A and B are shown apart, each in its own frame.
Chain A
Amino acid sequence: MKTPTRRLLIVLLLSWSLGPLLWQLYTSFSTNEALITPFANIDHRWTLNHYKDVLTGNPPFWRYLINSLIVGAGSTILTLCIATPAAYAITRSRGTITKVVQTMLIVAALFPYVLLFLALLEVARSLHLGNHLLALTIPYAALSQPLAILLLSAAFRDLPIDLEDAARLEGLGLWSRLRWVLIPLIAPATASTAILVFLFAWNEYPIALTWLSDSSLLTLPVAMARIAGSSIYSVPYGAYAAATVLGSIPLIALVLIFQKSIVSGLTSGAVKG
C-alpha cells in the first residue's frame, strides 16, 4: 500500500475511534448554552462547571470511581487467582475429561450472562450479599472464568515444554515452577486477561444495578445512569460527558501502564539458537 493511502487510512481509523471521545471531551467543557446553540455567538463558551457539579454532588463522583476501582481490582485478582491454576491444570492433564471441560468452558464463555442475572439476584438475596461492594467480585470473577481460563491456558500451551522440564530437573517443585518460571513467562497473557476482566467489571450494569441500592456504594455505570436520568425534562449532557471523561481516565491509565508487559516477544530466544 502506498504511503499517502496508508496515512489517510490511519487518519480515518483514528477519527473513527477517537472522534466520540473527543466529542465527549468537548461537551464536558462546554456551557449548556454552547451545547444548545453551537454556532451562535456566545460569551461563555467554555466552563468547568460540569466537572464541579459532578465532583461535588452527593455523594461526590470520586466515590463511584473508587467503588468501581475496588470492584474492578477485586474481581481481577480473584479471577486470576482461580483461573491461573485452572488453566495450568487443563493444559497439563490429558484425557476425555479435560476435553469435556474445555468444550464446556467455550460454551460458558459464549453464554449471554444477562440470562443468569435473575438467578444471581436470588442467590444474592438468600446469601445476604446485597449492598456489599466486594460481594460483586464473586459473580464478576465467576463470569470471567471461562474467558480467563481459555486465554491463560492458551498461553501455558504456547510455552515450550522443555522449559518446564528443565525447571523440574533443576529441582523446582510445582509451586516453584509456577512462581519462578511459568507465571512470569505468561505475564503478557495475564496482563491482557486482567485488562479484559477489569473492563468487564468496570462496565457491568445489570448485576451492579440490582445488587446495590445504597447510593454511596454505586459503581460507575449505575451512577452515570442516575446522572443521565436525574431529570425527566432534560438530559444533562454536560454533566454526563464530564462523568464519562472522568470514568475513562482510570482505564486509559491502566492500558498505558500495562502496555509494556503486553508487548509480545518476551519468550523469544528461549528456544533454538
Chain B
Amino acid sequence: MSLKLNNLGRRIDDRWILRHLDLEIQNGECLALVGASGCGKSTTLRIIAGLDQADEGSISIDGIDVTSTAAVDRKVGMVFQSYALFPHLSVAANLELGLKVRGVAPSERQQRVRQILQLVQLEERASQKPAQLSGGQRQRVALARALLRDPMVYLLDEPMSNLDAQLREELRPELRRLVLRDQKPVVYVTHDQHEAMAIADRIAVLRDGQIEQVANPIELYKHPASLYVAEFIGRPQINVLPPEQGVIKAIRPEALKLQAGGIACELLHREWLGASQIWQLKSHLGPLRMLVGSDQTVPESIQVSWAPEQEHRFNARSGKRLAA
C-alpha cells in the first residue's frame, strides 16, 4: 500500500521539465522533495494531485492506476503554499464545503468539522474569516481541510514558507504528527534542505527535473551521491576543493580541524552561531568554511587539515560520487 510514481515525465513544448521520475512512498512515510526553484518539485506534486497532466509514465495509489483520474476524484489532501483558503467563507464553512459537496449529511459534517477544529486547536476561530487569522492559524485550517478529505495521499507544497522561522520550528513536529496520523504516504515539497532534514523520513533531491538521489537524511548527508547533493544538503555549505586529476574533493566544514603542518589559512570573517562559530578562511585552495566550537580562540597562525575518511570524492566531469 503506497504511492508509486513510475517513469513520470512532463514536457512543456519540446523541453522536458520532469523526466524518468521513479519514486515509491510507503504508507506512514514522509518523503521530502527538495531542489532549487524550477527543478520540477512543484510540478511533480501537481501531477500527483491531478492538477497537471503527465506526458509520460504513470501514478498508482494503493496499486490502483490513477494517471488519468481527474483531480476532483483523486482523493488527495493538499496544503498549498498560499493555503488557498476560500476568503469569503468562515473557517467552519471552509472545512465544511468539501464535505457538503461530497454528500456528507449535515449533522455528521458539523461533528467532523468540530472534531478537526479541536485537533488543530482552532475551535474558537470557527466563525472567523481567513483574513482574520494569523499565518500559522491559516496554515492549520488548510491542514485541517486536507485531513477532512480522508485522502489516500497527503501533498504539502511549501506549507511553511510563509511563516516566520520560530513558528516554523514550533509547528514542524506538530505538522508531522497530524499528517502522519492516519498512516498515509506524505509528499512534502520544500526548497529548504534544513526543513526537509527535520521533517522527512526520506529525501529526494531533484535537479533539472531528474532525481539526483533518494535517501534518508543521514545517508544523504554522509554519502551524497553527487557533488550537487553534497552542496545542496548541509549548512554551512560543504567546502569544494579545486579539481585535481579529474577528481573533486569536498569536505564538510565540521570535518576541518586545526592542525600544525596543515594548510595555511587566513581568517577573513567570523560568524557566531551560539554553540559554534563559522570561520571564513582564505587558503591556496580557495575559500574554506570551518565549523568550530564557540570556545575556540583564533591561534597565531591557522593551519587546517582533515581526516582522509572525511573526504567526499566526486568525478570532476559527471559530478558523481567516486567509490572510497
Contacts and interface: CB of A to CB of B under 8 A. Distances in A.
B97 A172 contact: yes
Task: For chain B, give the interface size range.
Answer: 35 or more
B131 A269 contact: yes
A167 interface: yes
A45 interface: no
A172 B131 CA distance: 23
Task: For chain A, give the interface size range.
Answer: 20 to 34
B266 to A, nearest CB: 44
Contacts of A165: 49, 51, 71, 78, 80, 84
B181 interface: no
Contacts of B74: 169
A166 B84 contact: yes
B101 interface: yes
A169 B88 CA distance: 18
Given A160-B82, A273-B135, A171 B87 contact: no
A65 B130 CA distance: 43
23 contacts: A160-B82, A160-B84, A162-B81, A163-B86, A165-B51, A165-B71, A165-B78, A166-B78, A166-B145, A169-B50, A169-B76, A170-B98, A170-B149, A171-B72, A171-B102, A172-B72, A172-B101, A173-B72, A180-B86, A181-B97, A266-B88, A269-B87, A270-B131
Contacts of B97: 167, 170, 172, 180-181
B117 to A, nearest CB: 17
A169 B153 CA distance: 12
A160 to B, nearest CB: 6
Interface string A126-137: 000000000000
Nearest to B131: A269
Given A169-B74, A173-B72, A272 B84 contact: no
A267 B101 contact: no
Give 5 nearest A-B pairs by CB, closest first: A273-B135, A269-B131, A170-B98, A270-B87, A166-B84
Interface of B: 49-51, 71-74, 76-78, 80-88, 97-98, 101-102, 129-132, 134-136, 138-139, 145, 149, 162-163
Interface of A: 160, 162-163, 165-173, 176, 180-181, 184-185, 187, 266-273
Contacts of A173: 72, 101
Contacts of B130: 269-270
Contacts of B49: 165, 169
B51 to A, nearest CB: 5
